[in-house]
Chain A
């Protein structure tokens, strides 16, 4: 083999090795940059924790506001119901309060479930994207990284309002149920008042007959028809023993 050809081959081989070496150095640098970026933006526990805290704070604030409104409505109903002094109304109040407590408990459970759901969704999405990142080639990592961040932000923007909207819908349903209960109470009280009026009317009628009968049989019959003496003597005779015990000594 000619010496010149041999030299050319050696130079080519050396250049190939140099190119491979440079490419490896470049890949290692990109990998290090990606690892640093991943640590700072996504896999950083503080970042994930801040997202979770934000979800908690948002849900808790909305739940607290809604429960405060619900509590105020409940207190207002209690004040209204306290105005009634009958036992029947008290029983009705007790049943209504129990019903309200059940609704409250039901929605409290729902709220708790919703919070857990939101956390689970977030955790699942983080796990999913972490797996995707690990499976992605180094070349696509930066773009995937940006996509991941955008998706996490979308999750934050989509999931939380959706849950809050769901919660608001539930609270609207609960408010509607409370209005129905309030309407039922109002109807019941009206019916109860009518029953009391009817009862009083009936009693007055019955008692009026009794008083009139006594008046005619005992009072007027003795006085108006000249039998006052008999009437008084009958009453004295009626209390004879007591009179004798007190005055007869």
Chain B
């Protein structure tokens, strides 16, 4: 297994790593079927391979890389950013920069879309939830109404 897996600056989210893992799985599958041409590896996967100084792409090395990335996902703290509308890639990078500079470099981000939020953002850590969504505002408003009526 690769020790201290290195992630390039361009890779910072769970979703990106899931894509990389899928590409590695497909690539290993095509290697096992020797008669076929190896499948396509995306830019992020290639950046990770380069960052970890992997030269030869065989099933063993790619398997080690896959296991290392899986362990990295499991062992690293996650910061979920949930929004009503999808967050564009350039915005994701700005948010990643802010997190790395202000919170920690050892954090993986996760960007999810939830239309039921209506608007705003929900920030979720392993222990806390910071809900700045319109849906939460409406729920709070309902509680406010009940409290006001009860006097």
Contact = CB atoms under 8 A, between A and B. Distances in A.
B73 interface: no
B148 interface: yes
A229 interface: yes
A70 B126 CA distance: 66
B104 interface: yes
A177 B105 CA distance: 80
Interface stretch (B34-42, B48-56, B57-65, B76-84): B76-84
A220 interface: yes
B149 A235 contact: no
Given A200-B149, A243-B103, A247-B125, A211 B141 contact: yes
Interface size grouping (class) on chain A: 20 to 34
A243 B106 CA distance: 13
- Which among A196, A211, A235, A236 has the greatest number of chain B C-beta atoms within 10 A? A236
A242 interface: yes
B149 A233 contact: no
Given A211-B141, A218-B132, A246 B125 contact: yes
Q: Is the interface of A mostly helix, strand, loop or mixed?
A: helix
Contacts of A228: 83, 85, 87-88, 91
Contacts, number: 99
Interface string B68-99: 00000000010101011101100100110011
B94 A211 contact: no
B134 interface: yes
Interface in B111-145: 118-121, 123, 125-128, 130, 132-134, 137-138, 141, 144-145
Contacts of A249: 104
Contact of A246 (B119, B121, B128): B128
Contacts of A236: 95, 98-99, 102, 123
- Which among B79, B85, B123 has the greatest number of chain A C-beta atoms within 10 A? B123
Given A222-B120, A243-B99, 5 more contacts: A219-B134, A220-B119, A233-B95, A247-B77, A247-B79
Interface of B: 77, 79, 81, 83-85, 87-88, 91, 94-95, 98-99, 102-104, 106-107, 118-121, 123, 125-128, 130, 132-134, 137-138, 141, 144-145, 148-149
